[in-house]
């Protein structure tokens, strides 16, 4: 009888090893990752995809309007640079009082108009400076769009991560309830000591606490997502998507070249450097004498005196050495800041890419090996515990190992998405579509 019982246990163990890898091959992601309704959502609660959230954020976030206001201000600066100087009009009222015979007394008003002239080079430099300021403001706006898209994506995948953890915790809780019921039955019939029931009750309480904590984290993550998107999201909503959808990235040298030419922050700093260099030339051009045309007329009681001529301001004492030196220092500061930021962003890109490679290797190892082995071990431990060959501690240890492996897989998948989002933000181009569009997805994703 004992030999038959051992043979049955061995057969069930072999079946568990055979079934668990097959199940893991078809479902390697954490349980119910795509099931958004791990928490109780109303039937009328809308579900949003990532592109929908990005569109809502770009239209309802208040920072977008503020960034656009900066571009509008730079556009107005161009209009100011194109404006011609206003004429100056002088009107003087007086009275001529004759003190000698024959001199006519009466009112003697005086009128004058002065029109300042712009040098063509000064005007062109002023307009070019305003144009560079507009381009810098547009690059800053695009950089804000990319930053906002990165924050929304991070919050989106944070919600998916917390929902995956909640789904895993819910499944663990259901399994622990079965273990608790089985342990209570075995203790009641006398097949197991009472400490197994105490251990099962302790584990059940811990699993309930983990499930409640996971549910709270889901609500917190959704609140953070609503904060990034704006007031367009309702209080109750769901998300469509999977956490394990891994993006596909080109090699690091190609990413570095793309970032150098299209990063919004670098574009902004380059435009600021060009504007500072033009400012040096503009301050030097102000050393030239200022020329204005002046016409005047004096009306006396017995005659009129009209005059026309040029008014010239000679830069004799002030050669604008101070403004020129200040503009030169600002240009040097802008150049050094650009070079330093280029180096910093290159290092950030390399760090994010290495983190992406490491995390991708972790996800692959967890999906293809660790989680499957933990599921197989749990199946064997469950069979052994059911037939009394192993105690409850072995069963709980196997479940704890699987729980940890699933938790590591969820965290690794989230870290992989965060690394890809960081790389995408560094590659921000001067187009709203590039800030809105996610990176292309690879064919390797969790089923």
Task: Kindly report the number of other CB atoms within 10 A of residue 257's CB atom.
Answer: 11
Average pLDDT over the chain, rounded to an integer: 81
Confidence (pTM): 0.75
Closest Cα partner for 74 from 129, 146, 123, 148? 129
Cα(94)–Cα(108) distance, integer angstroms:
5
The residue that leads in pLDDT, 429 or 146, is 146
Highest mean pLDDT: which range of 51-60, 102-111, 324-333: 324-333
Is residue 290 helix, strand or coil? strand
Question: What's the CATH class of domain 47-97+105-445?
Answer: mainly alpha
Q: Tell me what percent of the residues of the chain surpass a pLDDT of 70.
A: 83
Cβ contacts of 278 within 8 Å, gap of 6 or more:
125, 128, 129, 132
Q: Can you give the pLDDT at residue 369?
A: 79
User: Quick one: what percent of the chain has pLDDT higher than 90?
Assistant: 37
Condensed to tens digits (0 to 9), the pLDDT of residues 26-59 reads 344 444 433 344 445 666 678 888 888 998 888 8
Residues 259-306: pLDDT tens digits?
Answer: 988 899 999 999 999 999 999 999 998 888 989 999 999 887 778 889
Cβ-in-10-Å burial (0-12, 13-18, 19+) of 12 comes to middle
Higher pLDDT among residues 227 and 445, named by residue: 227
pLDDT on residue 150:
92
Q: In whole angstroms, give the CA distance from residue 264 to residue 425.
A: 9
Q: What does each C-alpha distance from 270 to 12, 76, 128, 254, 382 come to in angstroms?
A: 69, 21, 14, 21, 64
| Contact predicate 407/240, CB 8 Å | no
Contact in structure between 370 and 405 (CB atoms under 8 Å): yes
Residue 355 to residue 286: CA distance in whole angstroms: 53
């Amino acid at each position: 009888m004992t030999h038959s019982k051992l043979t049955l246990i061995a057969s069930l163990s072999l079946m568990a090893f055979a079934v668990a890898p097959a199940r893991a091959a078809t479902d390697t992601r954490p349980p119910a990752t795509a099931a958004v309704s791990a928490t109780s959502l109303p039937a009328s609660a809308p579900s949003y995809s990532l592109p929908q959230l990005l569109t809502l954020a770009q239209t309802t976030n208040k920072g977008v309007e503020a960034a656009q206001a900066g571009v509008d201000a730079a556009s107005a600066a161009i209009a100011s640079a194109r404006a011609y100087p206003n004429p100056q009009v002088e009107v003087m009222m007086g009275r001529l009082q004759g003190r000698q015979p024959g001199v006519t007394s009466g009112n003697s008003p005086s009128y004058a108009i002065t029109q300042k002239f712009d040098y063509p080079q000064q005007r062109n430099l002023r307009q070019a400076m305003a144009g560079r300021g507009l381009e810098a403001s547009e690059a800053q706006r695009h950089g804000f769009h990319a930053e906002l898209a990165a924050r929304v994506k991070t919050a989106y995948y944070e919600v998916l991560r917390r929902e995956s953890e909640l789904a895993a915790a819910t499944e663990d809780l259901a399994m622990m309830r079965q273990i608790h019921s089985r342990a209570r039955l075995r203790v009641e019939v006398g097949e197991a000591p009472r400490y197994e029931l105490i251990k099962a009750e302790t584990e059940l309480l811990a699993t309930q606490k983990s499930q409640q904590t996971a549910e709270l984290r889901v609500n917190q993550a959704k609140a953070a997502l609503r904060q990034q998107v704006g007031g367009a999201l309702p209080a109750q909503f769901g998300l469509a998507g999977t956490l394990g959808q891994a993006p596909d990235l080109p090699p690091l040298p190609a990413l570095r070249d793309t970032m150098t030419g299209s990063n919004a922050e670098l574009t902004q700093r380059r435009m600021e450097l060009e504007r500072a260099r033009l400012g040096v030339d503009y301050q030097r051009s102000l050393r030239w004498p200022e020329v204005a045309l002046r016409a005047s007329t004096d009306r006396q009681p017995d005659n009129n005196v009209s005059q026309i001529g040029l008014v010239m301001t000679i830069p004799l004492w002030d050669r604008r050495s101070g403004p020129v030196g200040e503009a030169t220092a600002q240009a040097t500061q802008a150049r050094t800041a650009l070079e330093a930021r280029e180096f910093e962003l290159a290092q950030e890109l390399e760090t994010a890419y290495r983190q992406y490679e490491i995390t991708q290797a972790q996800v692959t190892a967890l999906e293809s090996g660790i989680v499957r082995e933990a599921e197989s071990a749990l199946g064997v431990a469950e069979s052994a515990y059911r037939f009394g060959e192993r105690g409850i501690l072995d069963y709980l240890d196997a479940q704890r190992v699987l729980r940890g492996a699933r938790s590591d897989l969820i965290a690794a998948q989230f870290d992989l998405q965060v690394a890809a989002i960081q790389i995408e933000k560094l590659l921000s181009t001067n187009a709203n579509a590039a800030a809105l569009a996610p990176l292309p997805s690879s064919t390797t994703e969790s089923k």
